[in-house]
Amino acid sequence: MDLFNLRKFLQKKDTIKLIDSLTDSMGIKVCIADSTDTVIYGADNRNHSGLPVIVNDATVGWVYGQDTTKSATIVTLLHHMVKTEMERKALATETLDKYNEITMLYDFVEKVNTFNVKEISNFLINQVLAQIKADNVFVILKNEISGRLEIAAGYGTTYNIGIELPQKTETICDIMLSGKAAIINDCHSKSACVLDIDNINSMICAPLKAKEKTLGVVTASTKDSYNYCADDLRFFCTLVSQAAFAIDNARLYESLKGAFIKTVHTLAETIEQRDPYTGGHTKRVMSYSIAIAETLMLSNRERERLELASVLHDIGKIGVSDNVLRKTSKLTDEEFEEIKTHPASGQQILSYIEELRDIIPGVKSHHERFDGKGYPDGLKGTDIDLIARIIAVADSFDAMTSDRPYRKGLPFEAALAEVKKCSGTQFDADVVEAFFKACSENKIRPAEPGK
């Protein structure tokens, strides 16, 4: 604890006024020195006896005067004033710490509820490192299929994501079974170590519990002589508890999302079966689109949008009559106009499904052209959603290379030349560039015969 600054305290007018008033009433002259025995009040008369001002077992100053009995009154006054000031500051500091803790927890809860399991785990580790002394932090989760404990994320000692914990880590298993947090300040005498980390002195562990389920354990450990205390445990458990609910929700969301995507793919395949001449088209368009997205370094969220939009880009063909969709000869102008209604029909269908509304621009606009000559709205340039601009290239390339009853598909190299020729007119030049880069990296390859 820092020694109290008596010099600064005596610079306050009210403090000086009170001491002046008391010394005048007692008819004495005193000299007050700080803890280093430097005079900070009154004329230097340190040739007289000095009395220490002791607060919380620490000497914060000295009072010198000819009359030690009366000087003792000044010492008592200073003692109470300094102690009151120190308590006030301590309370203010504690209040500020609590406020900062509450603010941090609020931000923590707000952020983790928008993350996936990996992001939550890494964010939790960063918050632990910011608030609690630790050389190593691990988030250990129970595998939902195998039931084994695995490292989900970590800091400090080298580790591999997904590695199973050794069976001998009995302390971690005890935490899982009991569901109770623990401080272990004598790790040398127990097999508490995670992943055989050497020289661990102290460890703090808390279970990831949500809805009466224990999802895993979070550990923090130090290598030096620091011992964890009750305050460390309290704050650590608060962070871990909030993360547990976020991880549980994220897992549920991932499960539901997986089921939802499977349903979307099944729907797309059902639609595709109406047109026997476009077998595998949906999967290829999705594959090409994702390859372009990776090259463009789209965010995970945008890639998810793109995957769904590319799978459902032709959903509007539900509204196209079979005699047009299955026609083996070239379409008439009237029939082509019917085909051109499928983007708008797709928009209408998706508008009824809340979870798919954000992919509507990609589905509706995938037949727009960069030069504004496309359909259904004649959008131009970057007014066309990026997802749609990507699907436009992928969809057109697959159409060029696929056989139709009335024509053979173009060879791979010829189709590439056609895409390049249409860069900046039919297609966004940046998307075309990303398409060719994906081709050069073998992410887009000629379709195998029969695929």
**The domain that contains 417 carries what CATH number?**
1.10.3210.10
pLDDT digits (tens, 9 = 90+) for 66-89: 888 888 998 998 998 888 888 888
pLDDT top residue among 131 and 447: 131
Distance of alpha carbon 416 from alpha carbon 428, whole angstroms: 15
Q: With cut-offs at 50, 70 and 90, classify the pLDDT of residue 57.
A: confident
- For 58-68, what is each residue's pLDDT tens digit? 898 999 998 88
* Whether residues 70 and 124 fall in one domain: no
Please indicate, yes or no, if residue 448 is contained in any of the structural domains.
no
In a domain, residue 135? The reply is yes
In sequence order, the 6+-apart residues with CB closer than 8 A to the CB of 282 are: 268, 269, 272, 310, 311, 313, 314
Instruction: Provide the phi-psi class of 56: left if phi over 0, else alpha when psi is between -120 and 50, else beta.
Output: left
Q: Is residue 262 part of a domain?
A: no
Q: What is the residue type of 189?
A: S
DSSP string, 394-440: HHHHHHHHS-BTTBPPPPHHHHHHHHHHTBTTTB-HHHHHHHHHHHH
Who wins on pLDDT, 375 or 178? 375
Q: What is the mean pLDDT of the chain?
A: 85
Where does the pLDDT of residue 109 fall: very low under 50, low under 70, confident under 90, or very high at 90 and above? low
Candidates 174, 183, 126, 132; CA nearest to 149 is 174
Q: Could you read off the pLDDT of 254-293 as tens digits, one per residue?
A: 777 777 778 887 777 777 777 666 668 889 999 999 999 9
Per the model's pLDDT, the better-predicted residue between 325 and 449 turns out to be 325
Is residue 200 scored above 70 in pLDDT? Answer: yes
166 pLDDT band, cuts 50/70/90, is: low
Specify whether 283 is located in the same domain as 413.
yes
Of the candidates 104, 137, 120, 113, which has an alpha carbon nearest to the alpha carbon of residue 238?
Answer: 104
Residue 137 has pLDDT above 80, yes or no: yes
The pLDDT-based confidence of 1 (bands split at 50, 70, 90) is: very low
Spatial separation of the C-alpha atoms in residues 258 and 252, rounded to whole Å: 10
- Give, for 231, the enclosing helix (H) or strand (E): helix 230-272
pLDDT in tens, 24-52: 899 999 999 998 889 999 888 888 889 99
Domain that holds residue 242: 115-252
- Bridge partners (DSSP) listed for residue 213: 210
The first and second tokens of residue 21, run together, are 């008033």
| For the ranges 165-169, 410-414, 432-436, the one whose mean pLDDT is highest | 432-436
Task: Calculate helix-pair angle for 13-26, 68-112, nearest 10 degrees.
Answer: 160
Same domain? 40 vs 81: yes
The verdict on residue 214 lying in a domain is yes
Same domain, 287 and 378: yes
* Residue 191 belongs to a domain: yes
CA distance 385 to 239: 40
| 324 and 231 together in one domain | no
Are 382 and 301 found together in one domain?
yes
Reported as a single tens digit per residue, the pLDDT across 227-238 is 898 888 888 988
At which of 99, 133, 153 does a domain end? 99
Q: Is the pLDDT of residue 10 over 90?
A: no
| Secondary structure element (H or E) that encloses residue 216, with its range | strand 213-222
Residues 54 and 169 in one domain: no
Residues 341 and 429 in one domain: yes
- pLDDT for 449 equals 44
Residue 313 has pLDDT above 90, yes or no: yes
Q: Is residue 264 part of a domain?
A: no
Last residue of a domain, one of 37, 64, 99: 99
Kindly state whether residue 258 falls inside one of the protein's structural domains.
no
Residue 57, in any domain of the structure: yes
Q: Alpha-carbon distance 221 to 224, whole Å?
A: 9
Q: Report DSSP state, residue 51.
A: E
Has residue 443 got a pLDDT over 80?
A: yes
> pLDDT by residue (tens digit) across 388-431?
999 999 999 999 998 877 788 899 999 999 999 999 999 999 99
Whether 284 and 406 share a structural domain? yes
- Is 448 a residue whose pLDDT tops 70? no
User: Do 381 and 424 fall into the same domain?
Assistant: yes
- In percent, the amount of the chain with pLDDT more than 70 equals 87
Q: Across residues 299-313, what is the average pLDDT?
A: 92
Domain count, the chain: 3
pLDDT band at residue 197 using 50, 70 and 90 as cut-offs = low
- Residues 237, 279: one domain? no
Angstrom distances, CA of residue 30 to CA of 24, 34, 55, 164: 10, 13, 20, 72
pLDDT band of 201, cuts 50, 70, 90: confident
Average pLDDT on 16-29 reads: 89
pTM above 0.85, yes or no: no
Statement to judge: residues 312 and 433 lie in one domain: yes
Amino acid 388: pLDDT: 98
What is the mean predicted confidence (pLDDT) over 201-216? 88
Cα gap 222→378, rounded to integer Å: 63
**pLDDT reported for residue 447:** 66
List pLDDT tens digits, range 340-390: 999 999 999 888 888 789 999 999 999 999 999 999 999 999 999 999 999
